[in-house]
Amino acid sequence: MYFHKQELQFKATPEKPDAVYARKLQEVLGGQYGEISVALQYQFQAWNMHIPGKYRDLVFGIGAEEIGHVEMLATMIAQLLEKSPLGITEDALQDDPTVAAIVGGTDVQHAIVAGAGARPVDSNGNPWQGSYITASGNLLADFTANENAEMQGRVQAARLYHMTDDKGVRDLLGFLIARDTMHQNMWASAAAELREKGVEDFPVPSNFPQSKEHTEFSYQYLNFSDGAEAADGPWASGPSFDGKGEYSYHDGPTSSVPMPPPTHPDVRLYGTTELPNIVEKTAGVVQDTLNKE
């Protein structure tokens, strides 16, 4: 169960309206790596988790915080839009290029659809979607997904920091970036613990028997481009990250087979086959069949 409290975790009030910036801020609310994504990702991981205890407490503990971050951003966006020209008649006069430029750079659905409110979309107006999230039930895989999400999110927030000089907005971003710092660290620490305790390890999933994979290819770097510098990386020689193999470097594939012959599915799927080549022998028969059925 979830309970709401009519307070915010941090101040979310801009100094001045800025509809163009409101559009940009939508990215960290409703984008691929926005707060809706992490909020739902952590909660689905919790609901699907197979282990009671600290890892489940962890994803539940963070998941609810992230819904509050969605709320702070939505509140901020509504205020950025409140007094900003949204294309309403006198404001949008094309004679004033500054105003025209502002209106042109906004998310026009902020005005037309939401009446100066936030929306569950990214900075280009693409609706948030369920396919952004990851919850596989494998904890090392999922915590790595979380690490990535917090990294991408912090990169985006850092970029947004420099796209405004509004002290109120920067203040909120400074808070959200701090939380991203914590969350990146947290997932990295949690992933490290999973490996230390042997709960999961590289390669994920670690209890799939490696005897079933073609291990001769398991630690080969195969270079399908013509740049040769990747031979110098730690992935090209020496012990592998998982400690279970030795890397080797190869220019191109170390195996190859001919392509299998083309398929010939049922003629009633009306794909094109070699019919003309074999027309004397079989076409009549095939056509008879088609006519008959």
Q: Please list every residue from 197 through 226 that binds a second copy, using CB under 8 A.
A: 197-200, 202-205, 207-226
The Cα–Cα gap between 87 and 91 comes to 6
Site for a second copy in 51-110 (CB under 8 A): 51-58, 60-65, 67-68, 70-71, 74-75, 78-79, 81-83, 86-89, 92, 94-95, 97-98, 100-109
Residue of the chain from 264, 280, 281, 285 that contacts a second copy (CB under 8 A)? 264
Q: Are 63 and 186 in contact (CB under 8 A)?
A: no
Q: How far is residue 293's CA from residue 285's CA, in Å, rounded to a whole number?
A: 12
Q: Is 260 or 281 the residue whose CB approaches a second copy more closely? A: 260
Nearer to a second copy, 281 or 293 (CB): 293
DSSP assignment of 164-195 equals ---HHHHHHHHHHHHHHHHHHHHHHHHHHHHH
Does residue number 284 form part of the binding site for a second copy (CB under 8 A)?
no
Question: 234-244: buried (b, 16+ CB within 10 Å) or exposed (e) per residue?
Answer: eebeeebeeee
Could you tell me if 110 and 81 are in contact, meaning their C-beta atoms sit under 8 angstroms apart? yes
Please state the closest distance from residue 19 (CB atom) to a second copy, in A: 10
177 Cβ contact partners less than 8 Å away, ≥ 6 residues apart: 154, 157, 158, 161
Site for a second copy in 166-195 (CB under 8 A): 170, 174-175, 177-182, 184-186, 188-190, 192-194
Size of the site for a second copy (CB under 8 A): 210
Torsional sign, CA 76, 166, 65, 39: positive
C-alpha to C-alpha distance for 5 and 178, rounded to whole angstroms: 22
Helix H or strand E segment including 246: strand 246-251
Of positions 15, 233, 278, 282, contacts a second copy by CB under 8 A: 233
Residue from 15, 167, 230, 284 that binds a second copy (CB under 8 A)? 230
Q: How many Å apart are CA 82 and CA 116, to the nearest integer?
A: 6
Pick from 27, 35, 38, 169 the residue near a second copy by CB under 8 A.
Answer: 27
Q: How far is the CB of 224 from a second copy (least distance, A)?
A: 4
Contacting a second copy within 136-155 (CB under 8 A): 136-141, 144-145, 147-148, 151-152, 154-155
94 versus 281: smaller Cβ distance to a second copy: 94
Nearest distance from C-beta of residue 281 to a second copy, angstroms: 15
Contact 33, 153 (CB under 8 A): yes
Among 15, 167, 271, 284, binds a second copy (CB under 8 A): 271
Task: Based on the shown chain and the rule CB under 8 A, indicate whether residue 278 belongs to the binding site for a second copy.
Answer: no
